[in-house]
Amino acid sequence: MILNRNVYLVAKRSARMKTNSCKFLSTALPKTFDLESKVPRLQIPPLHQTVDRYLKSVEPWLSKSQFEATTKAAKEFVSPGGLGQVLQQRLQQLDASEKYSWLEKIWLNKAYLEFREPCFLNVNWYASLSEPHNAVLPRPNQALSYQSSEFQLVRASELIANILDFNDRLNSQEIPPDMGKDGAPLCMNQFKYQFGTTRIPKLGIDEVVSKYPNYTRHISVMYKDQVGKVNVYGTDGKRLSKSAIRASLKQLVDKIDSIQEKQPAVGVFTAMNRDFWATARSEMISLSKKNASNMEIIESSLFNVCLDVLADPKMGFDLDYRSNMFLKGDSGNNRWFDKAIQLIVTSSGHAGLNCEHTPVDANTTGRIISEALLSENGPNAYKENEDIGSQSYEPVELLEWELDTKLKEKLMEAKTKTGEFANSVNLETLDMTEFGGDKIKSLKLSPDSFVQMSIQLAYYKLHKTPCPTYEAAATRSFMHGRTECVRVCSNESVAFTKAMENPSMLKENKRMALEAALNSHKTYMGWGLVGQGVDRHLLGLKCQMEQGESDRATLFSDPAFGMSYNYKLSTSNVSPARLFRGGFAPVVHDGYGIAYGIDKNVMRFAISTWKNSECDLGRFKGTLGESVEEIIKLRE
């Protein structure tokens, strides 16, 4: 996975909607994009400030001699006449020419579109959705192996309708703007890149296709690796009723179950290397008009729905099992990983997401899905007499593909490689039900900083060394803002972990070390939230280099620079994780991917590692629990 793309926030709507970083107005005052002109531009940080903060961030895990060499390289870089001054000036010129942000295109291209490895596991994130609790639903008593169930289609139609309702309100700008804790508006631009959005593979660099407002009438639906076009709006433009959507899904399922020879499972191509997929896609389109039409249907669909069938529907009740299904599919099958939104519903009735990260960060998708889940638990959910919308639905279309021998061979290669790649990731969940945010706050601690220091301590306990650590900070308080990196590992956090592992250290001294580490983290987070971190500015500077300037790029050629992006701990706060809990694969081979949600009385984690690495997922889970308890006891 490329660096710095794991932001998972969830929305909760009551009289006011809020997350750990923003509040959602419930009153219909300004329209969705009415306040965009009030959102400020992202400023370019001062050069010396960024380099000083960079040095501060690398010192904890460098040797004394390494840090001296890095400091020398940094000073040469920022010195008068040094390359840093030249690059800063070019970046300022770029800023003056960009309408919204100097960072927007750089981040989109460098972090995503130019990345050639599979989006599958490297880019896409998953979420496991909460189950409906206000409605009495018919669970499948004897659901058949590898077969759809009535409950699956009932729930899928409910969630589809609710997501479509959000798109309808977005088209008419009835979605209230998000507001920050300070009352200032947040940028809503990302919402324009959710519906009908697909990442298209191209040689060298991909592209994103999308449009707003989006009045497309269909979604794409996958079942047993087959793809169907399902119209979800009537000819009058009104959303189909939930019962009509359900009938359409049932029609597609029955059609697929009845055919003797299945269509090629071309969706697995989307799990491959981007250039491999780009070549295969181009060959498919050139081979037949039918293939070209199919691609247009899928890529323009509002979103993709995956109806998963299980060997044993009871397996869906295991959180770890279905979390792996939502992250990886069945070895990458029954998915179209290029779609910005994929809703997954299993034959056991459980639901999840798999979303392509390029166009938006997960807090945007989180709001859409959270509102859909809240509606699912509303007074009119699953009630036939409240089933509004058009009752007239059109026949579904099963997409048929034409592949020649060369493409069939590529498809077989894709299936083999994707299966191997899927099996290379471990993912497990962890719930700490003894305490949560309320307990942490009662100890006068910041919940997020508390969890981050618990992760630092757990890693140090296991690996006996600190490491570069990534935490995402949302920057939607700026025009077209995405994220900034919070470099969690600090001199203070290292001093704290060493103190905790020193049996001769007095408890009071350990408390003081914890306080310093927590304050350091809050400072780093503060920098990130206002766009004054390290990573994005250095990326912008590096992208201004011209041919022949590498010899002067002392900061970038210094070994510590590459080491500093080797984020062995990639973390993301998904609080409160009541409506859904998300996760992702690690960003480096010998690292951990850690998503966590802090609720009032529970903390929830999704932890991943690559197999055949130095990381031990089972031991890390146990050590993390120990670390949490040790810090709690330290403050009690």
Say if residue 227 is in the same domain as residue 292. Answer: yes
Query: Which residues of the chain, if any, have pLDDT below 50?
Result: 1-27
**In terms of DSSP H, where are the helices of 79-139?**
83-97, 104-108
Structure pTM?
A: 0.93
Rounded Cα gap, residues 185 and 34, in angstroms:
10
* Residue 494 counted as domain residue: yes
Say if residue 601 is in the same domain as residue 456. Answer: yes
- Report the pLDDT value the prediction gives residue 203, as an integer from 0 to 100: 98
Say if residue 84 is in the same domain as residue 126. Answer: no
pLDDT digits (tens, 9 = 90+) for 303-339: 999 999 999 888 999 999 999 999 999 999 999 999 9
Instruction: Please say if 48 is a catalytic residue.
Output: no
Domain count, the chain: 2
Say if residue 454 is in the same domain as residue 409. Answer: no
Which of 423, 444, 470 is at the close of a domain? 423
Tokens (6 digits) for 118: 């599979």
Say if residue 498 is in the same domain as residue 453. Answer: yes
Question: Quick count: other Cβ atoms within 10 Å of Cβ 114?
Answer: 13
- Report the pLDDT value the prediction gives residue 183, as an integer from 0 to 100: 93
- Report the pLDDT value the prediction gives residue 382, as an integer from 0 to 100: 83
Any idea what the CATH number is for the domain that residue 171 is in? 3.30.559.70
* Residue 114 counted as domain residue: no
- Report the pLDDT value the prediction gives residue 389, as an integer from 0 to 100: 76
Directed axis angle between helix 491-500 and helix 507-529, to 10°? 150
Say if residue 461 is in the same domain as residue 521. Answer: yes
Say if residue 366 is in the same domain as residue 319. Answer: yes
* Residue 6 counted as domain residue: no
For 612, left (φ over 0), alpha (ψ -120 to 50), or beta? left
- Report the pLDDT value the prediction gives residue 14, as an integer from 0 to 100: 29
Any idea what the CATH number is for the domain that residue 529 is in? 3.30.559.10
* Residue 522 counted as domain residue: yes
- Report the pLDDT value the prediction gives residue 443, as an integer from 0 to 100: 94
Q: Cβ(3)–Cβ(111) under 8 Å?
A: yes
**Catalytic option among 357, 480, 521, 537:** 357
Query: What order do you get walking across the sheet with 125-129 strand by strand?
Result: 397-398, 226-231, 218-223, 304-308, 342-346, 351-355, 125-129, 580-583
Residue 65 domain boundaries? 12-24+49-102+427-635
Say if residue 533 is in the same domain as residue 393. Answer: no
Which of 361, 388, 423 is at the close of a domain? 423
Which of 371, 397, 423 is at the close of a domain? 423
* Residue 43 counted as domain residue: no
Say if residue 535 is in the same domain as residue 512. Answer: yes
Cα-based angle 436, 578, 480 (whole degrees, multiple of 5) = 105
- Report the pLDDT value the prediction gives residue 384, as an integer from 0 to 100: 65
Say if residue 272 is in the same domain as residue 402. Answer: yes
Say if residue 399 is in the same domain as residue 533. Answer: no
* Residue 30 counted as domain residue: no
Q: Cβ(182)–Cβ(380) under 8 Å?
A: no
Say if residue 479 is in the same domain as residue 536. Answer: yes
DSSP string, 547-590: TT-GGG-HHHHSHHHHHHT--SEEEEE-TT-SSEEEE---SSTT
Q: Which of 198, 197, 239, 199 is nearest to 217 (CA)?
A: 239
* Residue 232 counted as domain residue: yes
* Residue 2 counted as domain residue: no
Q: Which of 481, 530, 479 is nearest to 36 (CA)?
A: 479
